[in-house]
Amino acid sequence: MADPVHTASLKWLDDVEDHDFDAAFAYLSLRWTDKAARKMVAALRKTKVTTRRPNDILRACDRSALPIDDPGVRRDLGKVIEGKKLSPVLVVSQHGAADVADGFHRVSLAYNIDPFAPMPLRIAFYDPDG
């Protein structure tokens, strides 16, 4: 039987699902004030989808990919095997540091399948002083 990780083909939605913005707020509000998190999510809503490689996203966020056996990564792999499209990722960048506001499991899955294949995301550049 073929390894599903190496035979999986990632398919992406054209844009972020609305509930991903709520998830981004939930995460960002753990790291920042609610006011700052709301501003970051508003900035994410204004940006357009672009592409970056999973390895570059992880490097910019100073993160390592989760292993393929992580429950969240496996859940997303299951969706891919079922032929479902995944939502683009949300990334916030501030003063040269970035963070995955929503979609870390999807970035990890993409990295495990092909770390150099472009994946869709929205990137917001947030300046708390501006």
Q: pLDDT (tens digit, 9 = 90+) per residue, 10-55? A: 999 999 999 999 999 999 999 999 999 999 999 999 999 999 999 9
Dihedral angle of Cα 46, 33, 86, 70, to the nearest 10 degrees = 160
CA distances from 43 to 7, 23, 47, 127 (A): 36, 15, 7, 10
Tell me the average pLDDT across 110-117.
Answer: 96
Give Dmax over CA atoms of the chain in angstroms: 55
